[in-house]
Amino acid sequence: MREFLIGKLNADALPHEWFTIAGSVGFTLMLLFAVGLITYKKRWKWLWNEWFTSVDPKKIGIMYFIAGGFMLVRGGLDAIMLWLQQSLSSGSSHGYLSADHFQQIFTAHGNIMVFFVAMALIFGLINYIVPLQIGARDLASPFMNTLGFWLYVAGVIMVNMFFFLGNEYGAAGWLAVAPLSGKEFSPGVGMDYWIWSLQISGIGTTLAAINFIMTMLKMRAKGMTLFKMPLFTWGSLCSMAMAVTVFPLLTMTIFLMFFDRYFGTHFFTTTGGGNAMMYTNLIWMWGHPEVYILMLPSLGVFSEVVSTFSRKPIAFYKSNVFGMIGISTLALMVWLHHFFTMGAGADVNSAFGVATMIIAIPTTVLVFSWIVTMYKGKIRLTVPMLWFLGFIAVFALGGISGVLLAIPPVDFQLHNSLFLVAHFHSTVVGGVLFGIFAGLAYWFPKIAGFRLNERIGRYAVWSWIIGFFVAFIPLYVLGLMGATRRLDHYDASTGWQPFFIMSLIGGIIIAIGAALQIVQIIASFIQKRRLADTTGDPWDGRTLEWSVASPAPAYNFAVIPEVSSRDAYFEMKKLGISKPTYKDIHMPKNTASGIYISIFAFLVGFGFVWEIVWLVVVSILGIIICLIAKTFNEDSEYTIPAEVVEKMEEHQADKVRAFHKDDDEVDMGLLEFIKIALSWAWRLVRGKR
């Protein structure tokens, strides 16, 4: 009976390791604080109606940013823990982590950074910016969008669930290589949490990607042909096209792994005729393109940033587009370079090595396109531009080491070494994270209505870049010294320890950079009025998102613009904008179905992890019922009458006219921020007395 009710759950599952106790207490405190604050401010209704059930891609985008930023801190803490262990654990010292715990941390670090940070931030940007860039009011399927987001949130909760129940996460690496991840070698629930966190959020990703493809291909403003689309939208389109191609492979592969673990099938097992090499192939068929799924929107961001801040249209627009298409197509055909060392033979390895090298061609073309754009431009070295310049340095390192790894005989020596770890951090931190940060700095005025503090922003950029080199150059060197990755302990005679310590110091500098980014956002909030963007076009932008007010109104465009050239808004500004005629606007209604379905999806996963059959059955039924109710609910839209639109637009115009800005005032520096923070704290303390 007990087994029927709560499956494998027992007292042992409660937190009893130091890290699960710390984690569960920490999360509970944060949750209590949030709940308390919302209750105190009486904001529950507002939160539910305005945010949680919202189908507005702008709000969903912001929620992605918040969740992704939160997980970035979570994944960053993992990274610091890994660095610390490796700096300590040399020779007779074994550090402060057990081998198993260390392996769980790097598994979680990889999963969190890729699935729950990078994907989330990319989706946040796409959600907010793409509809604005193509002149759309909404996404093709607003419901799929909220469902995708809440499935992602369910994944986030699932990936942290082991703190509360189970005491272990998967310890088989972020891709859970078989047969290590099978029941035979990983019998615990950690792997099951891995399976379900990725499965649930992966399905959310597929849904979101389908939705964005529909939006980008079917909802562009009149006149915006494919070759007039802004490059960020192009990057997103390539990325989402790859996502719908490879995420089904991930879903199926994890599904088969799930069958191996739960029903004793023999897909990836060592016994029964299973084939573990097949798992390696399948997971990398998804895993390699995944990196490019993350990178392409970032490359698009850089194209926008370089063009705007050089005050020039992007050079070689078509080559740039074909470059991105080339990258996304080629990226689907190179997965085998992740395991040249599995013994495929010289011919197969050569073919995949060549394919991998070919990817370097379109990537270089993109760099050329940026260089020529800067040539004879008027370059403003703003924070987004600094991120771009930093990205180039980091990415060049990643690119060169990447081509080295594409040469099979060289890869035999470098594979699974720290050189490889340094390589992919160069590409992912440079090519993905820096791009996201550049995008956030660039579009922040559009999202928040005021731009970010430039001075503190600069400090943050420099900390990240310096920190990156101090942290990862030693890893390249360690790889050349023969250090394999994922070591929780090594001999003192290797001479590796100083480099691990140096790397840790770099990690701390990066952490300072991240802290400065938080300070930057807070400082900008303090100076909100001074930094306000009243025109909606703070950078003298070129694309349509700058033609609307900041922050963008719920309906994005009061009147859908008609596009006749590439830098559509830049042309409009030159020609002048005449007074529009307003029409009724149809907008989708909010829905809570996405949340309900995601709760059930989470419970399905939870039920499977702990083998609670009734919970699984009930939850699947719940999902089906929610879907039916949603599909056959015909009343899903409301209308904003033309007069209301006109009133709102005029109100906005009045606000712009009424607003006077003191031009002498400047962004506060770090010292000023500290002064303000201290005096605020002092007032708080005194007030209590």
Partner 1 sequence: MTKPGKKFSRVRTIWLVLLGFIGLSLLVAALLRGNDVILFSPKGLVADQQHRLMVISTLIMLGFGVPILFFLYFFAWKYREDNEKAAYSPHSDHGKFFTFTLWALPTIIMLILASLMLPATQKLDPKRLIESENERLTIQVVALRWKWLFIYPDQNIATVNYVQIPVDTPVQFELTADETPMSSFWIPHLGGMLYAMTQHVNWLNLIANTPGDYQGSAAEINGAGFAGMRFITRVSSEEDFKKWVNDTTLSTNELGTSEYASLLMPSENNQAAFYSNPEPEIYSNILSKYAGGHQQYAGSTEHKVTH
Partner 2 sequence: MTHAETSEEMSHEEAANDRVMFGFWVYLMTDLLMFSVLFAVYAVLHGNSLGGPTGRDLFSPPLALTETLILLTSSFTCGLGMIAARKGIKKQTLFWFGITFLLGLAFLSIELYEFVEFIHEGHTMRSNAFMSSFFLLVGTHGVHITSALIWAAITLFFVAKRGLTKSMVRKLSMLSLFWHFLDIVWIFIFTVVYLMAFV
| x-marked contacts with partner 2 along 179-218 as a string, rule CB under 8 A | ---------------------------x---xx-xx--xx
Choose one: 71-79, 165-173, 598-606, 614-622; the region binding partner 1 (CB under 8 A): 165-173
Contacting partner 1 within 424-453 (CB under 8 A): 451
In 161-275, alpha helices (H): 190-218, 231-263
Residue 652: contacted member of partner 2, partner 1, none (CB under 5 to 8 Å, by partner type): none
Choose one: 491-499, 557-565, 590-598, 651-659; the region binding partner 1 (CB under 8 A): 491-499
Of the pair 362, 594, the CB lying nearest partner 1 is at 362
**Total residues in contact with partner 2, by rule CB under 8 A:** 50
Which of 157, 291, 333, 357 binds partner 1 (CB under 8 A)? It is 357
Of the pair 282, 438, the CB lying nearest partner 2 is at 282
CA distance 600 to 612: 14
Choose one: 402-410, 508-516, 555-563, 680-688; the region binding partner 1 (CB under 8 A): 402-410
Which of 473, 623, 642, 644 binds partner 1 (CB under 8 A)? It is 473
Of the pair 276, 418, the CB lying nearest partner 2 is at 276
The pair of three-digit structure tokens given for residue 506, joined into one six-digit string = 């770099």
| x-marked contacts with partner 1 along 227-266 as a string, rule CB under 8 A | ----------------------------------------
Contact 486, 101 (CB under 8 A): no
CA distance 268 to 265: 9
Give the 3-state secondary structure of residue 588.
strand
In 97-177, alpha helices (H): 99-111, 119-134, 142-160
Q: Which of 295, 300, 332 is nearest to 317 (CA)?
A: 300
CA distance 190 to 105: 11
Contacting partner 2 within 523-582 (CB under 8 A): 559-562, 572, 575, 577-578, 580-581
Which of 495, 525, 621, 681 binds partner 1 (CB under 8 A)? It is 495
- Measure the N-to-C terminal CA separation of the chain; round to a whole number of Å: 57
Of the pair 52, 570, the CB lying nearest partner 2 is at 570
Of the pair 63, 330, the CB lying nearest partner 1 is at 330
Angle at 612 between CA 279 and CA 176, to 5 degrees: 20
Q: Which residues pair with 640 in a beta bridge?
A: 585
Token look-up 């990196």 returns: 291
Told to check if 677 binds partner 1 by CB under 8 A, we report no
Told to check if 628 binds partner 1 by CB under 8 A, we report no
Least CB distance to partner 2 at residue 576 (A): 9
- Kindly give, in sequence order, each residue whose CB lies less than 8 Å from that of residue 573, ignoring residues fewer than 6 positions away: 537
How far is C-alpha 519 from the geometric centre of its chain's CA atoms? 21
Give the 3-state secondary structure of residue 109.
helix
- Kindly give, in sequence order, each residue whose CB lies less than 8 Å from that of residue 506, ignoring residues fewer than 6 positions away: 467, 468, 469, 470, 471, 472, 474
Contact 297, 125 (CB under 8 A): yes
Q: Tell me the one-letter amino acid at 182.
A: G
How long is the chain? 689
Least CB distance to partner 2 at residue 631 (A): 7
Burial 143-166 (b: 16+ CB within 10 A, else e): bbbbbbbbbbbbbbbbbbbbbbbb
Residue 211: contacted member of partner 2, partner 1, none (CB under 5 to 8 Å, by partner type): partner 2
Told to check if 349 binds partner 1 by CB under 8 A, we report yes
Of the pair 634, 663, the CB lying nearest partner 2 is at 634
Q: Is 27 exposed, middle or buried (0-12, 13-18, 19+ CB in 10 A)?
A: middle
- The sign of the CA dihedral 654, 657, 662, 666 is positive
Told to check if 310 binds partner 1 by CB under 8 A, we report yes
| x-marked contacts with partner 1 along 278-307 as a string, rule CB under 8 A | --x---------------------------
Angle at 650 between CA 647 and CA 654, to 5 degrees: 135
CA distance 160 to 66: 16
Residue 311: contacted member of partner 2, partner 1, none (CB under 5 to 8 Å, by partner type): partner 1
Output the 3-class SS for 635-670.
CCEEEECHHHHHHHHHHHHHHHHHCCCCCCCCCCCH
Told to check if 515 binds partner 2 by CB under 8 A, we report no
Respond yes or no on whether the N-terminal peptide bond of residue 551 is cis (omega within 30° of 0). Answer: yes
CA distance 258 to 281: 17
Contacting partner 1 within 591-610 (CB under 8 A): none
Contacting partner 2 within 237-296 (CB under 8 A): 244-245, 247-249, 251-253, 256, 259, 263-267, 272-275, 278, 282
Told to check if 329 binds partner 1 by CB under 8 A, we report no
Of the pair 389, 628, the CB lying nearest partner 1 is at 389
Which of 345, 576, 685, 686 binds partner 1 (CB under 8 A)? It is 345
Of the pair 100, 571, the CB lying nearest partner 2 is at 571
Told to check if 339 binds partner 1 by CB under 8 A, we report yes
The pair of three-digit structure tokens given for residue 459, joined into one six-digit string = 């400090």
Least CB distance to partner 1 at residue 633 (A): 46
Of the pair 282, 305, the CB lying nearest partner 2 is at 282
Choose one: 37-45, 199-207, 377-385, 643-651; the region binding partner 1 (CB under 8 A): 377-385
Residue 474: contacted member of partner 1, partner 2, none (CB under 5 to 8 Å, by partner type): partner 1
**HSE-up of residue 506 (Cα within 13 Å, Cβ side):** 20
The pair of three-digit structure tokens given for residue 436, joined into one six-digit string = 């996201």
Contacting partner 2 within 324-343 (CB under 8 A): none
Which of 96, 375, 638, 659 binds partner 1 (CB under 8 A)? It is 375
Q: Which residues bind partner 2 (CB under 8 A)?
A: 140-141, 144, 206, 210-211, 213-214, 217-219, 222, 244-245, 247-249, 251-253, 256, 259, 263-267, 272-275, 278, 282, 559-562, 572, 575, 577-578, 580-581, 583, 586, 624, 628, 631-632, 634
